[in-house]
Amino acid sequence: MVSVFSRPRPPLAPTAAAAGAEPAREFGRAGRAGTRTGAARVTGAALVTGASSGIGAALARRLGAEGTWDLVLTGRDPERLRAVADASSASALALDLTAPGADRRLADFTLATVGPVDLLVAGAGVGWAGEFREMPAHAIDEVLETDLTATLRLVRLLLPDMVAAGTGRVVLVGSLAGCVGVRGEAVYSAAKAALGAFADALRQELRGTGVGVTHVIPGVVDTPFFERRGAPYRRSRPRPVPPERVADAIRDTAVRRGRDEVYVPGWLRLPCRVRGATPGLYRRLAARFG
């Protein structure tokens, strides 16, 4: 296991300091053992966001266990991220992706640590539960910035190197809420729906470049997400799946097979297809069964 260490943090730009942004913390692999320049055979360089817990942490452990990835992780919780990075033999930069300049700082850190990435998994996300008319304005901004805008900015920075190399994959972790809309999660549903539309449009734009785009659509996942959004998950169905199941689907179906869409569990295709083909029927069913 490669030890994790802290690096001195450059001074914050005035805009970030004025906004009260949380200081970023960097961790790196000593000597970068097993990187592109080392003796170990490397699959490629990968960046995983939202890696301090949940799906991102589970995927980091899966990729780290393979021992062939130059892996960079990011997340908001420095201590959790440190533990995941240590278990995954990864480099990591703890920061809030919604902070001014965070996308550029993460991109620069990644390029300096492992070089251009072959795989970007955008898994960072937050939610908010409750009636939209009661949702504070700052919560609207946080959900949209974290779940949509920050991801778009990061993809924009890392994509040109993928296109130049003629290879790579962008994996965008969406949600069933973005396909069908969920009561009490109007803004989260809107952000994830926009992410799905972005995946479709970007995939068409990149056709012929060698760069693929995968939209991962999980249902309810057993992670701290529900505690952090302000309300636990109380429905009897669909039942939550472990984050490791989503991580396996990302690794096996998105990364290895290059699929455009991945549903976890697979039966979630049905409500999404019904919603798309017969929206009126879907609305009647949703009104009756929730």
How far apart are alpha carbons 97 and 149 in whole angstroms? Answer: 9
pLDDT at 4 over 50: no
Residue type, 183: R
Enumerate the active-site residues. 188
Local structure of 7: helix, strand or coil? strand
pLDDT at 254 over 70: yes
Q: What is the pLDDT of residue 183?
A: 83
* pTM (whole model) above 0.85: no
Helix (H) or strand (E) holding 78: helix 78-88
Taking the alpha carbons at both ends of the chain, their separation in whole angstroms is 47
pLDDT at 101 over 90: yes
Q: What is the pLDDT of residue 142?
A: 95
How far apart are alpha carbons 194 and 116 in whole angstroms? Answer: 26
pLDDT tens-digit readout, 55-93? 999 999 999 999 999 999 999 999 999 999 999 999 999
Percent of the chain residues topping a pLDDT of 90: 62
Q: What is the pLDDT of residue 119?
A: 97
How far apart are alpha carbons 142 and 147 in whole angstroms? Answer: 8
Q: What is the mean pLDDT of residues 253-282?
A: 79
Q: What is the mean pLDDT of residues 218-246?
A: 72
Q: Which residues contact 25 (CB under 8 A, 6 or more apart)?
A: 6, 9, 78, 93, 94, 95
pLDDT at 20 over 50: no
Local structure of 182: helix, strand or coil? coil
Lowest mean per-residue pLDDT among 52-56, 101-105, 127-131, 189-193: 127-131
How far apart are alpha carbons 127 and 185 in whole angstroms? Answer: 8
Q: Which residues contact 206 (CB under 8 A, 6 or more apart)?
A: 163, 212, 213
Token pair, residue 20, equals 């009260």
pLDDT tens-digit readout, 114-131? 999 999 999 999 988 889
pLDDT at 24 over 90: no
Paired with 168 in beta bridges are 211
Place 224 in a pLDDT band, splitting at 50, 70 and 90: low
Q: State the pairing for strand pair 25-29/4-7.
A: antiparallel
Token pair, residue 28, equals 């790196």
